[in-house]
Amino acid sequence: MKKPYELYYWPMLPGRGEFVRLVLEEAGAPYVDVARLPEEEGGGLEPLLQLVRGERPGQPAYAPPILLHGDFVLAQSAAICAYLGERHGLAPDEPGKRMQALQLQLTIADVSDEAHNTHHPISAALYYEDQKDAAREASKSFVDQRLPRFLPYFERVLERSAGEWLMGASLTYPDLSLFQLAEGLAYAFPKGFARVAESTPLILGLRDRVATRPRIAAYLASDRRLPFNEHGVFRHYPELDLRD
């Protein structure tokens, strides 16, 4: 029996680890969400922190999410999604197309980072309450200027893909991440997302198709799927959403 993948991420929030979980779930790949296990089963935060501190074998990882596959250690959500996608039939076969899929994944990561920075524009080390004024300015720029650029970009990719997925006729790992991005933005900025989404029906269609895939639907209905909350990348503060 093959040893399952080991995923290391903060146990209390979906965050960037959720992009990885969706690929693992769609692939039907066995994995252990290590930090969410009880300490007596080798879980909790300490194994994750040991990796971050460089106390375990393999290439050091700067921050979670971190994937262990045997002795192989890999961090960065986009790199992990690409690695898993290529191993489990969720990436294009052609090398050039694989790089284009990675390009899409990295752009999704850019949007996620900008969404995070709306509520932590000064420093991730400060509480949101310590930077509210700056967050209001950052979120206004994001909702008014950045969202209307990012989402139509992905809409254009879908228009030209010659299929119902970003890379054409077959689902690939960036489709799963675009689903998570759309869900996260709708949670964090419901009014701002709804305004832009009026002109991006293909993204909404992709989101619905991903949600109804059998393995993803089962995952979304399970307790493995952590709800969005005010500790992760996508946080809902009404004062940061679209101004009426």
CATH architecture assignment, domain 95-213: Up-down Bundle (1.20)
Backbone angles phi, psi at 29, to 5 degrees: -85, 130
Residue 8 has pLDDT above 80, yes or no: yes
Domain boundaries defined on the chain: 95-213
Q: Which residue has better confidence, 232 or 82?
A: 82
Whether the ω angle into residue 65 lies within 30 degrees of 0, i.e. cis, is yes
The average pLDDT across 217-228 equals 96
Give the mean pLDDT of the chain: 95
- pTM strictly above 0.85: yes
Say how many C-beta atoms besides its own lie within 10 A of residue 49's C-beta.
13
The average pLDDT across 147-166 equals 96
pLDDT at residue 1 in the model: 44
Tell me: the pLDDT tens digits for 95-141? Answer: 999 999 999 999 999 999 999 999 999 998 889 999 999 999 999 99
Residue 145 has pLDDT above 80, yes or no: yes
Residue 207 has pLDDT above 90, yes or no: yes
CA 163, CA 153: separation in Å to the nearest integer?
16
Residue 75 has pLDDT above 60, yes or no: yes
Q: pLDDT exceeding 90 applies to what percent of the chain?
A: 92
